[in-house]
Structure 1
Amino acid sequence: MQFSRMEKLGFGVLVTAWVVWGTNKIGDTLVHANEPEKMGFEVAVADDGAATAAAPKEAEKPVMELLASADPKRGAKVFKKCTACHSAEPGAKHKIGPNLWGIVGHDQGKMDGFSYSDAVGGLGGKWTLAELDKFLHSPKEYAPGTKMTFRGITKNADLAALLVCLQTLK
């Protein structure tokens, strides 16, 4: 008996469908899924939810108050973010940003061999801890037009640790 290609194809599809159907039935027989009585899960919410949501967060201490207890080792960990654009060794070449060795107490916007943006270059004054605190908290607010793309450090404890770390770079 000779079968045409279409008959062979049809028979193959039929056998495949029977195998899939049979495997499904055998699987359903061997494995029983326990359906939950209720779909989803319940989230427990406190009765005084409105009062809890309205409670203010405890305010962070200002960075300048945290300097005395800040850990320079923690600051070194925070500084790792800075190493993408800055070097911090004596005599090291500038990267995208200036070398930060000796930055605390240095003139703002003036570093041999580095071209600052007009925003930072025109600041004048010195990089004191207070000025670095303001700048590193939000560079774009401190010096609008700065080339520094870093958004800033929002956690005061991290910023205080970084400032203590920068102070050791001398």
Structure 2
Amino acid sequence: MTIKRGHAAAVAFGLVLATACGGASDEPAEAAPTPPAESETPAADTSGADEADTTEAAAPDETADAAPEPASQFAGFPEPYASADYDRGRRVFLQCQSCHTLEEGGAAVLGPNLYGLFSRKVGEGEGFSYSSALQEADFEWTPEQLEQWLENPRSFLPGNNMSFAGVRREDDRHAVIAYVMSQTGYEPS
């Protein structure tokens, strides 16, 4: 197969953009669970069963509309983070992992390591050279501060160097913040 020079450059540029924006990762992407095919769904055994048995078999589906239980990973977190979706938070964090690490003692990449984020003043994490906007800011990171930051980093703190447009969906922000809290030593007060 022959690849034209312009096409190869476009593909390489796309890969660079995807990596910078969290669209590519060294980690393999998790496949979304697929529902079983109709042929795999066990058919109800109706031989000799009366209507009461059929109704009982359908009873578990009635709870599908019930409010989900808060994720045990987020127990003790303030709302709305306590009831956030852990898996969604982990998936949204894939956008962040090309620049940030979460583990204690982890390296700063293009952005600072986030372990201990919620117990430190903005612009003071070890091993990272912060912009003057972050160094001059005067607040401690809280889930609420991170919520505002992730909505639109440029307008939250003008002059910062984070080249990320933000997480637009509120439920995605709640989920990723809860996930970061769960992975970085957050202690509910």
State whether TM-score is above 0.5: yes
The structure with the largest alpha-carbon Rg is 1
- Checking the alignment, whether the CA contact within 8 Å between 1:119 and 1:143 is kept in structure 2 is yes
Distance in 2, Cα, partners of 1:66 & 1:113: 31
SS at match of 2:80: helix
The one-letter amino acid paired with 1:112 is E
- C-alpha contact 1:104 1:166 (8 A) present in aligned 2: no
In 2, Cα distance between equivalents of 1:80 and 1:121: 26
Instruction: Report the AA paired with residue 103 of structure 1.
Output: L
| 1:87 paired to 2:87 | no
Structure 2 letter corresponding to 1:145: G
- Separation (CA, whole Å) in 1 of partners of 2:81 and 2:106: 27
Once residues 83 and 111 of structure 1 are traced to their aligned partners in structure 2, the CA distance between those partners, rounded to angstroms, is: 17
In structure 2, the residue corresponding to 1:104 is in which secondary structure? helix
Aligned pairs for 1:1-170 within 5 A? 66-168=80-182, 169-170=184-185
Mapped contact 1:108–1:125 kept (Cα < 8 A): yes
Q: Distance in 1 between matches of 2:116 and 2:145?
A: 15
Structure 1: 5+ residue runs without aligned partners? 1-63
User: Aligned Cα RMSD in Å?
Assistant: 1.4
Which amino acid in structure 2 is aligned with residue 155 of structure 1?
R
The 8 Å contact of residues 90 and 101 in structure 1, kept in 2 or not, is answered as: yes
Deviation at 1:102, TM superposition (A): 1.8
Distance 2:129 2:82 in 1: 34
List alignment gaps of at least 5 residues for structure 2.
1-77
Match of 1:69, SS state, is coil
Partner of 1:31: none
Secondary structure class of the residue paired with 2:134? helix
Whose relative contact order is higher, 1 or 2, with alpha carbons under 8 Å and at least 6 apart? 1
Between Structure 1 and Structure 2, the one with more helix by share is 1
